[in-house]
Amino acid sequence: MTTITIDSVARSFGSVRAVDRVSLEIRDGEFFTLLGPSGCGKTTLLRMVAGFCALDSGRILFGTTRVDTLPAYKRNAGMVFQNYAVFPNLSVGNNVAYGLKARKIAKPEIARRVERALALVQLEGYASRWPHQLSGGQLQRVAIARAIVIEPHVLLLDEPLSNLDAKLRVDMRAEIRHLQRQLGITVIYVTHDQDEALSMSDRIAVMRAGNVEQVDEPRAIYERPATPFVAQFVGTINLLPATATIGGGAKSEISLGGTTISGQFPGVQTGDRVTLSVRPETIRLLVPGEDPPRGWIVLSATLEDTEYLGPVTRFKLRLTDGTRMQAMAITASALSGHIRIAFDPARVTILRQAP
Identify the pLDDT of residue 53. Answer: 95
Span of 184-188, 255-259, 342-346 with lowest mean pLDDT: 255-259
Domains of the chain with bracketed CATH: 4-233 (3.40.50.300), 238-351 (2.40.50.140)
The mean per-residue pLDDT over the stretch 24-41 comes to 96
Question: pLDDT digits over 73-87, tens only?
Answer: 899 999 998 888 899
Q: Would you state the pLDDT for residue 217?
A: 97
pLDDT of residue 354: 46
- Give 331's pLDDT tier (boundaries 50, 70, 90): confident
Q: For 230-240, what is the mean pLDDT?
A: 92
pLDDT digits (tens, 9 = 90+) for 121-175: 989 999 999 999 998 889 999 999 999 999 999 999 999 988 888 888 888 888 8
Lowest mean pLDDT among 75-89, 114-128, 249-263: 249-263
Strands 238-246 and 252-256: antiparallel
- Which has more pLDDT, 223 or 254? 223
Maximum mean pLDDT: which of 160-164, 204-208, 273-277, 329-333: 204-208
Confidence of residue 255 (pLDDT cuts 50, 70, 90): confident
pTM of the model: 0.89
pLDDT above 70: residue 353: no
Checking if the pLDDT of 355 tops 60, the result is no
pLDDT-based confidence at residue 309 (cuts at 50, 70, 90): confident
For the cut 90, the answer to whether the pLDDT of residue 64 exceeds it is yes
What pLDDT does 221 receive?
Answer: 96
Arithmetic mean of pLDDT, 263-291: 85
